[in-house]
Structures are given as C-alpha cells and as structure tokens.
Amino acid sequence: MVARSAATRGLVALAATAIGFAARPARADDFLHRLVADARARVDAEAAAHAPRPVPPVPVAVKWRPAKLTSIDLGAPLVALTAADLDGDGKAELYAVTTHDVIAIGWRGKRLDELARVPFAGDVAVPVPRDPVGTAVADGRALVASTSGFARALRVTWQGKQLVGAPGEADFELCPGEHAKLVPGRDVLEGNRYAVVCRDLVDATGAPLHVRGELAATGRLAVDAGTAHFEVPEVGVAFELADLDHDGTPEVIYAGAGAPGDPDSVKVVSLGGDPRKPRWKKPFTAGGVAGIAVGDLDGDKAPEVIAAVRLVGATRVDLWRLE
Amino acid sequence: MRSLLVVVALCAVASAESRPHYGGSVEGTLLGAPVTLDPPYARTHADATVISLVYDTLYRIGPDGVPVPHLAAALPVVDPKLATVKIALKKGVAFQDGTPMTPQDVAASLDRARTTAKWVLAPVKSIAADADGIELVLAAPTDDLATFLALPQTAITKAGKSPGTRAIGSGPFQVVSLDAPRHRLTLKAFDEHFAGRPYVDELVLRWYDTPDGEARRFETGNAQMSARGVAAFAGGQPTFKAEDVEGPAALLVFVGFGRLHPDVLGDPAFRHALDLVLARSGFAGIGWGERVVPTRLPVPIEAGAPPLVARSGDVTAATDALAHAKAAVKSLTLEILVEDTRPDDKEVAERVLAGLDQLGIHAKITVVTAQVLRDRALAGKADLWIGQLAEPVTAQAAWWAAAFAAGGDDTLAKLGAFDAATAAKQFDARLPIVPLMFRSIRLWHRTDVRGVSFDASGRPCFADIFLFGAPVPTHGRP
C-alpha cells in the first residue's frame, strides 16, 4: 500500500480548488486562467518536491509451514474473506462476509477469535442466485461488503471498539470505486466474471504497482500489473494477489477450480511463472477453500496468508495460516 | 454414519472453491407417472416432485427439519390470542408468464387448498390478502402452520386457479411438454426464478413401466440419472462411471382401502387382521438397496415414532382379529391395485397377497395406470391399493394428517387442533391405511452430474444439479 502524506493531500486539495476555478466560464481578462496556470505550476513543483522516494522492497524468504489456527462457526455460509487494518491498531483483522453478517476476526490473546459482527439489513434481494456469493473490499478505514441475499451493500467501520454498518450501494463493489451487478438469478457478475481483486503494491524499484486480477467464470484469472498482463488458468473463486517475498513481483495465491465438494488445494505462483510448476502447493482433501486473505495479523510487518477451508455449504470454517 | 449420509444428501447450498456451471440438459427420473400438475391434488412422490419444480410454497423445510421462509418474507406472526396469523411476502416474485405474484394469488391458492385438501390447512378458518402479505384466521391454535405451508398441496398458482392444461407457476422450471404416453416430461429453466435460476437449461424427467427399463436406459448412457440401479442385470456396468446419493427415508408405502366391499373393507377388525398378518421384515428386500424402515405407524422415527420391534407377522393374532369381523371375507376375492409405473409396488402387493393368503383370504393383483388407480381410489371403486406418501421426514403432524387423508378419513381434520396422542389413538382404532415401510430414494448419477441432493421429503432437488466436466467412460466400455 502507498500511503498519502499530509502534504500531498494538501496539494491535491489546492489543485482541486484551482481546477474548480478553471471549470468556470472564462472571462474577457484571462486573470483566472493565469491564476490557474500559476497554481498548477506551483502544485506540480510542490508535488515533485514531496513525492515519496521509491524504496525498493527487501526480499525475504517465505517459509511455508501450514498450520490450522482455529475453527469458527460463522453462523452462515462464508461468501468472502479479506484482511485489512480498519481499526488502525497497526495489525490487520480478518473480515469474513457471510450471507448474514460481516464478522471481524483477530487475535484475542493467543487465539484467533471473533471480535465483532454487524448484520446485513434492509430489503432482501430478488432474485438471488441459488448459491450465495459476496464481495469484501477494504477502502481506507472502511470495508464495503456485499452478499447476494441483500439488495444493498454494507459499509463497515469501527467506531471506538464497536463495529458498525451503514447501507451501501445497490450493487457489488469489486475494487475501490469499481462496481458491478450480479446477472439476475445467477452467481456471476456482469461480464461473466466471478470476482475482481485490486491491490496497490510496489515493484522491484519501489515504484507503485497497481495490480488487478479479474476472474472469469471460465476459471481463467487475468492479472494486470502495471503494463504487464498475465493469465492463470483453473483458478477457483478464492484468490489473492500479494508480494509475499518482497521481491517486487506479485504472487497469485489461489484455490483450485474443481467442482464444489471436490478436494481442493492452494497454489502460489509468481506472476509470469508457470502455473504448472507452482512455487508452493497445499492440498486440502477434507474441504474446499472458500476464502484466501493476506494481511499482517500479528503486527510483525510480515503478512500472513490465511485460507478458510470448509465442507460444502457448511457454516463452520477452519482458518489455516499457510506460511 | 447413516444419519450423516442423509444430512449430506439433503438440499444444501452448493458454495465452495468454485461455483456450479450453468447450461446443459439432464435426463432424470420420477418414481412413477405424475397424475396432476394441480397442487391441492398432489398425492404421490411423483406429483409432489413435479409440483415442487413448477411452483413455489411459502416455506421450505430446511435440512434441520425447521421451516424456512421461501415465498414468505419471514416466519408466521401469530397474534397474542392465537386467533390470527400474518405472513409477509417477498416482493418482486414473478410467475413464469411474467406477471407479478400478488398477495391475492397467494390467498386464493391457500383458500383453494384449504377447501380442496382439507387436511392441509385444517386449523385455518379463512385467508385474506392485505397490502404486503396474507392474514389467516385460525379455528384452532397450531404450531405447525409453517410446516403445512411447505407442503406441495399449498403451492401457489395464478389467482389460485387450477392450472388446467397449461401449468404456470413461479417455480424454477417451466413445463415445455408433458408426453404421458411416452412417459416424458420436459422442463426448461425459468430465468427469473426468485430463488435462483436452475443450473441446467433443460430437465427431462421420465418414468418406466418395466422393472429394468430405467436401469437399462442409464446403463446405455441415455439417461444421466436412475433411481433403479445402473444396469439391467446384476453385475452389469453402465457406459459411464456413476455415483449414488441417498435421501431421507421419507417415502411411506401403505395399503389403502376402497369401498367395493364396505362391510369387509371398512371393518376395523379386517384392517387390524391385515395389519397384524403382514411381516414387515419381508419388505426390506424390495428395491435397489435403499434404506428401508419397516413400520406399522404412518410416522417415521425421525418424527418421533418408536422403532418397530416386532417385524414378523402374527398370524394367530391376525386370525383372532379377523374372527371379530362382522362380514364374511373368505368368500370374496379381493383385488389389489398397483400402479404400472411403480414396479416396486407390485412386489409390495405380492407380499400383501401372501399375507391375505395366510388368513385364507383370496386376492389378486391388478396393474393399472396411475390415473386409473387415482380415480378408483378416490371414488372408492377398489378393494385394496398400494399407495405412497412423501412428507417432510421430521414433520409429525403432517404425517398423521396425510395418513388420515390418504385413507379418506376426516376424523383428524375435524378435530382442528393437532394432538399427537389423539392422532395415534384414533389411528389405532380406525386404521385408515396400513403402513408398511418407509424407504429412501437412491439416485445413481453420472459423475459429471453434480449437486445431486434431496429435500426433507425425499424429493430430488433437480434445480440444484449442474454439469461439471465430462462423463467418464467405464473401463472396458466405449
């Protein structure tokens, strides 16, 4: 993630004000035009002077040591899972979206446990797909969650120690600012897609790298990383994009595209690598992988990869830490 | 282990690592010929299965046996005096012709069910529509309203009318054609079904009037599902690899009584004699290895009935019971009607015939079409007939009510409020039917047919099946 500094936010506000002036009708004397040009020039100069210097990531060795952390009954089927630090404590929480609730999960002492939950509310959606689906997108200090059973999304934030929800848009947020609707009565999004994941990472030089993965209903994951394009076949609906080893090349962590109920696995491949030769693979024979999330849950500055594994349709999930 | 299998086989949300695919056509099976597409007249497993595909009910019975809202927006809300019930309805539900479903459609459908299939809504005095739902006025308090509103007899039709020749419901499938002579019902997916479009585009359901017809069709790869084995001959291999799934033992097979010889058939002494002489253990071998639970009660163990201990027939007690019969039966030859598209029922009838023979009563088996059996049973123009009931396996009140109704006995319906002890006492005294066994349905399916499961009444959830991958040829077969 690339954090915006306070100085940058001020410059952006100044630029917005100037652009607002420019949008007004021009007058005979071009005083305003000159003012805008001057403001723009000053903004550009300030921005250049305050641009964060790229810090190349320092590669780390990832040791894959899968271990089951806990088993939690969510009370309803899981439809999406993500990790984000919404409460600002420097440690990420897991957010499990079920057909009923958004559930925050984090470390409670030495145990990964439910921290709080907030229910979806409002009108139920009609029609709904036969198998429930959902999305979870972290946007700053908020999480926008959607599930196919409810007409509106749920915008979740922490207010003190309380997790609160507010009605969101009447569609599915895929990435911050990017929305789509479900095809009526089906489990696919418009454009014959299952899911989209966007992540802001850095490349090997430390420059910002926006990565976007779009999973087609065919199971083919198309990943755009900057100007590069990659495709990974046979990807299940649970996948995540992250630079786990800090080498500037993102990894795709994904479940298999087998039929619901079949044994599953989690694979890790580097973008550009051969999916037939994954860097790591962990089979799960007693359940399917319903969600994958990456976040620094323990605050040690190294992200953990979490997989949620369950039997088909079950409300109980096993949470596995994979590295 | 058995209960675990059953739970897994119940209709479940298919959400996992990937998602079911849409498209394709599947040929499945019905347990017999469907006689009606008009919900209140549903009697058999086949009727109930087809009606669940074409229409919707206010509630469904979940895997744990508890009713869950379906067309209803929530569970019934009863007033403090237990006199009226309000049920809110989901908005945005459409019939298959595109017209919206209204509270008036729902109220009219339930009112017709109340007056046509009286046992279903016996405690309900009247039903009216309001702005966003319906209101029911109760004649007697009931705890089981949502369960009864999950039964196929209460499915919603347009304006509550009989569908006639063109069945239009709101259910997941639309009827394309019903070809009764060729034993074939063709359905297509209803894209706007409020609870989700089915995964397959087309569903063809067939039924058979020969014992091996269904297995033969599966064996040769022409059908993707079979409820009667994978091959016509023992040890045979189907063209494509198959798996099987078993549902709950929610199908009751029973002997019904007609009125052709009312002095005999209506006499409780004769009915008790028949009940006593039939060795229930003899029914366990019927079928294709499904779970069979012999019974003398019309209520499954899952709904609270005690397990049957004495499974062998008691000829002495039966003979004693028959001695109390008012009319002479031994001069008669009783006719046992069985349906031609339920070959298992013929085996059942043969065992009933054997039991009658032990009592010195002559009988013969007559095979008729489903329609003829229905008509003759309803009109009472029969001696004995082999019938079946399919109710939610844990719903005790529904089983008692359905059993009395199947015997044409309105004693329980007249009581209004349901009481299990009273129902059991009345059943023992009157024996409206003679229950024989509960059995499950076992479905064999090609390995590329996924999501095969059953609802609480043992009906296959055809809307949830989907095709994934390709069929796998059996080793040594093309």
Confidence grade of residue A244 (pLDDT, cut at 50, 70, 90) = very high
The predicted structure's pLDDT at residue A14: 44
Q: Any residues with CB less than 8 A from the CB of B177 and at least 6 apart, and which?
A: B184, B185, B186
Q: What is the mean pLDDT of residues A109-124?
A: 93
- What pLDDT, in 10s, does the model give residues A207-218? 999 999 999 999
B420 contacts chain A (CB < 8 A): no
Domains and CATH numbers, chain B: 25-54+175-248+441-467 (3.40.190.10), 59-160 (3.90.76.10), 251-439 (3.10.105.10)
B91: closest chain A residue by CA:
A126
Amino acid at A308: A
Q: In this structure, are residues B124 and B146 in contact, taking their beta carbons and an 8 Å threshold? A: no
Distance from CA of A185 to the nearest CA of B (A): 4
Tell whether the model's pLDDT for residue B18 goes beyond 60. yes
Looking at beta carbons, which residues of chain B come within 8 Å of A262?
17
Q: In this structure, are residues B15 and A290 in contact, taking their beta carbons and an 8 Å threshold? A: yes
Q: What is the mean pLDDT of residues A100-126?
A: 94
Helices (H) and strands (E) in chain B, counts: 13, 21
> Does A126 contact B93 at a Cβ distance shorter than 8 Å?
yes
Q: Any residues with CB less than 8 A from the CB of B328 and at least 6 apart, and which?
A: none
Q: Best mutation site among B7, B15, B93, B191 for testing chain A: the one with the most A CBs within 10 Å?
A: B15
> Does A185 contact B196 at a Cβ distance shorter than 8 Å?
yes
Distance CA(B225)–CA(B465), nearest Å, equals 11
Task: Please give the structure tokens belonging to residue A319.
Answer: 């949470």
The predicted structure's pLDDT at residue A100: 97
Sign of CA dihedral A286, A291, A292, A298: negative
Task: Please give the structure tokens belonging to residue B364.
Answer: 């013969």
Looking at beta carbons, which residues of chain B come within 8 Å of A256?
17-18
Sign of CA dihedral A93, A96, A102, A107: negative
The predicted structure's pLDDT at residue B14: 38
> Does A256 contact B18 at a Cβ distance shorter than 8 Å?
yes
The predicted structure's pLDDT at residue A267: 96
Alpha-carbon B264 to chain mean position? 29
Q: In this structure, are residues B37 and B163 in contact, taking their beta carbons and an 8 Å threshold? A: yes
Q: In this structure, are residues B129 and B111 in contact, taking their beta carbons and an 8 Å threshold? A: no
Task: Please give the structure tokens belonging to residue A103.
Answer: 């559930």
Distance from CA of B96 to the nearest CA of A (A): 13
Looking at beta carbons, which residues of chain A come within 8 Å of B24?
none
Q: Mean pLDDT lowest for which of A228-232, B138-142, B323-327, B418-422?
A: B323-327
Average pLDDT, chain A: 88
Q: Report CA-CA distances (Å) from A49 to A52, A53, A312, B260.
A: 9, 10, 54, 103
Distance from CA of B411 to the nearest CA of A (A): 41
The predicted structure's pLDDT at residue A104: 98
- What pLDDT, in 10s, does the model give residues A56-87? 999 999 999 999 999 999 999 999 999 999 99
Which phi and psi angles does B205 have, rounded to 5°?
A: -110, 130
The predicted structure's pLDDT at residue B74: 96
DSSP state of B94: B
The predicted structure's pLDDT at residue B289: 87
Distance CA(A96)–CA(A74), nearest Å, equals 8
Residues of A with CB under 8 A from a CB of B: 77-79, 123-124, 126-133, 184-188, 194, 217, 219, 236-238, 255-262, 264, 288-290, 310, 312-313
Looking at beta carbons, which residues of chain B come within 8 Å of A188?
19
Tell whether the model's pLDDT for residue B287 goes beyond 60. yes
Give me the residues paired with residue B28 across strands: B205
The predicted structure's pLDDT at residue A108: 86
Tell whether the model's pLDDT for residue A12 goes beyond 70. no
Distance CA(B430)–CA(B414), nearest Å, equals 15
The predicted structure's pLDDT at residue B103: 98
> Does B12 contact A312 at a Cβ distance shorter than 8 Å?
yes
Looking at beta carbons, which residues of chain A come within 8 Å of B199?
130
Looking at beta carbons, which residues of chain A come within 8 Å of B450?
259-261
Higher pLDDT: A108 or A207? It is A207
Q: In this structure, are residues B452 and B225 in contact, taking their beta carbons and an 8 Å threshold? A: yes
Distance from CA of B159 to the nearest CA of A (A): 21
Contacts by residues B82-88 (CB-CB < 8 Å, ≥ 24 positions apart):
B82/B138, B82/B141, B83/B137, B83/B138, B84/B135, B84/B136, B84/B137, B84/B138, B85/B135, B85/B136, B85/B138, B85/B145, B86/B130, B86/B133, B86/B134, B86/B135, B87/B58, B87/B133, B87/B134, B87/B135, B87/B136, B87/B149, B88/B132, B88/B133
- Number of C-beta neighbours around residue A284 at 10 A: 20
Q: Report CA-CA distances (Å) from B164 to B37, B40, B157, B179, B233.
A: 8, 13, 11, 15, 41
For B:429-458, CB contacts with A below 8 A are: 450-451
B92 contacts chain A (CB < 8 A): yes
- Number of C-beta neighbours around residue B153 at 10 A: 28
- What pLDDT, in 10s, does the model give residues B401-415? 999 999 999 998 888
Q: Which of B24, B476, B461 is nearest to B245 (CA)?
A: B461
> Does A130 contact B197 at a Cβ distance shorter than 8 Å?
yes
Q: Report CA-CA distances (Å) from A153 to A188, A190, B6, B465, B474.
A: 17, 17, 36, 29, 48
Give me the residues paired with residue A172 across strands: A180
Tell whether the model's pLDDT for residue B98 goes beyond 50. yes
Distance CA(A25)–CA(A145), nearest Å, equals 41
B8: closest chain A residue by CA:
A312
Distance CA(A320)–CA(B463), nearest Å, equals 33
Confidence grade of residue B462 (pLDDT, cut at 50, 70, 90) = very high
- What pLDDT, in 10s, does the model give residues B146-164? 999 999 999 999 999 999 8
CA angle B126, B127, B133 (to 5 degrees): 155
Look at strands A93-98 and B59-61 and give their pairing: unpaired
> Does A79 contact B92 at a Cβ distance shorter than 8 Å?
no
> Does A237 contact B17 at a Cβ distance shorter than 8 Å?
yes
Tell whether the model's pLDDT for residue A24 goes beyond 50. no
Distance CA(A25)–CA(A227), nearest Å, equals 37
Smallest Cβ distance to B18: which of A123, A185, A236?
A236
The predicted structure's pLDDT at residue A286: 82
> Does B73 contact A290 at a Cβ distance shorter than 8 Å?
no
Distance CA(A198)–CA(B350), nearest Å, equals 68
Tell whether the model's pLDDT for residue B63 goes beyond 70. yes
Q: Best mutation site among B4, B18, B467 for testing chain A: the one with the most A CBs within 10 Å?
A: B18
Distance CA(B100)–CA(B96), nearest Å, equals 9
pTM: 0.88
> Does A313 contact B199 at a Cβ distance shorter than 8 Å?
no
Confidence grade of residue B17 (pLDDT, cut at 50, 70, 90) = low
Burial class (CB in 10 A: 0-12, 13-18, 19+), A283: exposed
Confidence grade of residue B327 (pLDDT, cut at 50, 70, 90) = confident
Average pLDDT, chain B: 93
A288: closest chain B residue by CA:
B17
Distance from CA of A54 to the nearest CA of B (A): 38
The predicted structure's pLDDT at residue A99: 97
> Does B19 contact A290 at a Cβ distance shorter than 8 Å?
no
Q: What is the mean pLDDT of residues A126-130?
A: 96
The predicted structure's pLDDT at residue B352: 97
The predicted structure's pLDDT at residue B383: 97
Q: Which of A219, A246, A242, A249 is nearest to A232 (CA)?
A: A219
Distance from CA of A309 to the nearest CA of B (A): 9
The predicted structure's pLDDT at residue B475: 73
Q: What is the mean pLDDT of residues B111-138?
A: 95
Task: Please give the structure tokens belonging to residue B398.
Answer: 């529904």
Alpha helices by DSSP H, B324-434: 343-358, 370-379, 396-406, 411-415, 420-430
